[in-house]
Each structure stands twice: as structure tokens, then as C-alpha cells.
Structure 1
């Protein structure tokens, strides 16, 4: 089976490689100032399309990328969550971005937990990080709930080198101990 066929199911969600039919929801996310506040800001539709293609491209080139997260009950795309490791990144990240309509439902935790399991088991990662803006309290709380701890300041590559972030993370051994 190709990695492009990867599917993970949780109680309420399906995690899979992003598809063209997901773009309208992605474009909606990219227009939402509040949802994009800590992930580089909003993007007009044409720029959103180019960003959208990053994840399928990462799957083709690296063999992994953030998953499209699909709400099973509605078959709607709710966001991207999963492994992410672009050039110059401070570590092997499991990151997240959700449409505001999906906030407050526990989807980020549910999908991130499945994605972290997958990254450790299938990719063989020994650590996951989360690059989190200092003001992004929601992501800090999610990282804590996942068992990650604040490891201090980190640096992102250009064009994000001026964004002040903390690196949250944990090792595979810490993850496994918490899950026991």
C-alpha cells in the first residue's frame, strides 16, 4: 500500500491525504483572520491554492504530511493535523490548523493524538514538537493536554524568522509512558 493511501480512523474523524474536493473548506480557513492569526495570516484564494498543494506535495516527496481531517458525520473537511517537517524547521512537528466551525469539539486533540501515534509508529520519529506562538493559548493548552512540555524559544526559517515561538514537545518514550 502506498503512503498516499494512508487512512486513520478515530471515533469521529477520518485522517487521510488531502484531495482537491477539500479545497473550498481550506480556502475558507485561509480567509478567516482569527483561525489564521498564528499560522502566517490569511491568504487570498490563489495563494491559498498554492498553500493547499503543499501537503499533497509533502506526501509525494517526503512520504508524509499533515492529514486532511474529515468529520465522519458530515464528510466535511475540518482542518489539517499531522506530521510536518519542511526545510529549516526546528524539528519533527505534529501541527494543526482547524476551521473555526470545528473549534471546541475536541477534534484537534482526537486527530493530533492519532497523528502522533502514527508519526512514532510509522515514521519512526523519536520526538515530536509543536511550534507555538507565545500568544496562542489554545495551542499551548492542546500541547499540554497531549503531554508535551514547553522546551523554550525556537526559531523558524524565513519568511517566519521574526515570529517568536516556543517549542513544545515530547519524546516517543514520554508519549508511550503517558499513554500507558
Structure 2
């Protein structure tokens, strides 16, 4: 059991720390070439398991990590969203990844609003970033809808130092303005 168990709710979603029952759908996402193209690549189930454990570990040690995103109606895990800052990361990230069967439903923006609000209120962050592959148009659209702007190319720490990323972001003050404009 994690020391804190935040639970965020939106109209259609629940955001909470990962649980073991989330793993099968997470492994399905990482087995899908399209779904994981921009988040480190395809992983077999064993690799997905090790990667899955990063989030509960970050929750336990840092007190924050990406939330599991759960559909209220079905109880189904649809993705992950939220604060993420591994050692050497270029800033306080709000990251996201969604199972392909959840794409196109607006879940990324809906859950990001809750996660960004939580990060600013609970973690005291003064700005957030999104590290996005320059070819990932869908993620760029999510960042832009949230009011984040392209800040330029960035660099991730090893073992991701060869990955091309652009840094998108906004400050707490910009979020206070942008949040009310999200439809």
C-alpha cells in the first residue's frame, strides 16, 4: 500500500495510483507498435512488467507519478497520465500514454486537466513540461489544447539520450489562464 492514495475524478474518469489489476491492459498497450512508438518502443510482457513497476515505485519514493486512468462506466484501465520526473529529466513533466482503444475519446485532455491541477496544488510546481517526439502529432495536439507551447528541442538522460524530443510547457500562471479556455 502506498503512503498516500490520491483519487481524482473527472466527468468520465478516475485517476488513481496504479494497481496490479491494471497490468494486463498496460502490457497490451506496450505490445502495440503504434501505441508505444513514441514512448520507448514495443515491450514484451516481461519488459512491460518491469516498466509498469516504475510508477508504483515513483509513488512510493517520490510521492507522485503518473496516475492510472480508469473509465468510470466500465472500470477499465485506459491509460496513464500525470506527473513524472525521473532523475536527470529536463523538468516537471505531465506525461501520458493511452491504450489504442481509448484514442479519440478526449480522455487525454480530460485527465490532463485533473493531473495538472493536482500537480500545481499538491506538488507546488511552478511549471510543467511535456517531452514529445517531433513526429507525434497527436501528442502535440493534446499539449496545444492544454495551452502548452513549443519551447524547442530537449534532451533526455540516458538511456533515452538518443531520442528526439521537443519540450512543450507552461507556467502555473499560464495554466490559470489556459485552464478556463479548454473545451
Q: Which TM-score applies when normalising by structure 2?
A: 0.96
Equivalent residue for 2:8? 8
Distance in 1 between the 2:129 and 2:111 partners?
15
Q: How big is each residue's C-alpha offset from its partner over 1:121-173, in whole Å with a ceiling of 9 and x where there is no partner?
A: 11000000000000000000100000000000100011111111110000000
Confirm whether residue 104 of structure 1 aligns to residue 104 of structure 2. yes
Structure 1 segment 45-124 matched on structure 2, within 5 A: 45-124=45-124
SS at match of 2:166: strand
Give the drift of 1:3. 5.6
* Partner SS, residue 74 of structure 2: coil
Instruction: Find the aligned partners of 1:157 and 1:5 in 2 and give their Cα distance.
Output: 29
> Shift of the alpha carbon at 1:96?
0.3
Q: Contact 2:113–2:179 at 8 Å: present in 1 too?
A: no
Q: Could you tell me how far apart the structure 2 residues matched to 1:123 and 1:115 are?
A: 11
Runs (4+) off by over 4 Å: none
Unaligned runs of 5+ in 2: none
**Superposition deviation, residue 73 in structure 1:** 0.7
Q: Is this contact kept in 1: 2:146–2:178, CA < 8 A?
A: no
Report the TM-score, using the length of structure 1 for normalisation: 0.97
